Amino acid sequence: MYATVTAVSRSATHTMSKQNQPVITLQAGLGVEGDAHNGKTVKHRSRVAQDPTQPNLRQVHLIQSELHTELRARGFSISPGQMGENITTRGIDLLGLPVGARLLIGPEAVVEITGLRNPCNQLDGIQPGLMKAVLDRDEAGNLIRKAGVMGIVLEGGVVRPGDEIEVVLPPEPWRKMERV
């Protein structure tokens, strides 16, 4: 099975959920055109309050549709974009990628993975218990964050549902993702 984009979403305001779109445009060094998180410096409100000059490592939020399937099996009613992602994928273990992995999306766009999305309590506003459902523990008791990954746009371009995604891994040794 090859990897694909299943949905694209954006929101011009700082809302949890983003509206599905027929197409989004990624802008190199900025993020999703017309999205509240677009910019060279951090746009996430809590991070702006800490230091508004930080580089924006959260230009694009990606979630694998397999998480939506898992959550639906646990009784949650989740649809693409609802958890704040810009790009919903199928066929890639996004959470298993190392920092620096590149996603070649459609004919032009390139997104470099910077780290894990740290889920927040706003998820419980979508449905009670959702925050806890996207957190897990491994055998050693380490926290597993399943709410997607963040990236920066290296090469801009148009992205649509149905676009293929190719993963290009960085040279080893690989760095495991941490929250960004």
Decide: 60 and 18 in contact? Cβ < 8 Å: no
Query: What does the pLDDT average to over 85-99?
Result: 98
For residue 97, is pLDDT > 60? yes
pLDDT tens sequence across 51-63: 999 999 999 999 9
Query: What does the pLDDT average to over 78-92?
Result: 97
Query: What does the pLDDT average to over 81-93?
Result: 97
Query: What does the pLDDT average to over 20-45?
Result: 96
Domains, the chain, ranges and CATH? Answer: 3-168 (2.40.33.20)
- Per-residue pLDDT, 48: 86
Return the bridge partners of 168, or none.
Answer: 102
- In which band, very low, low, confident or very high, does the pLDDT at 1 lie, cut at 50, 70 and 90? low
- Per-residue pLDDT, 44: 84
Nearest to 17 by CA among 61, 59, 55: 61
Kindly state the tokens that stand for 10: 């954006």
- Per-residue pLDDT, 46: 84
Question: How many degrees, rounded to 5, is the angle at CA 58 between CA 52 and CA 60?
Answer: 140
- Per-residue pLDDT, 129: 96
Using alpha carbons, list the distances in angstroms from residue 122 to 14, 35, 51, 56, 128.
12, 18, 22, 21, 10
Nearest to 176 by CA among 92, 98, 116, 94: 98
Query: What does the pLDDT average to over 28-57?
Result: 93
Decide: 15 and 37 in contact? Cβ < 8 Å: no
For residue 135, is pLDDT > 70? yes
| Proportion of the chain above pLDDT 90, given as a percent | 93
| Proportion of the chain above pLDDT 70, given as a percent | 99
Residue 97 DSSP class: P
Residue 86 DSSP class: S
pLDDT tens sequence across 98-132: 999 999 999 999 999 999 999 988 999 999 999 99
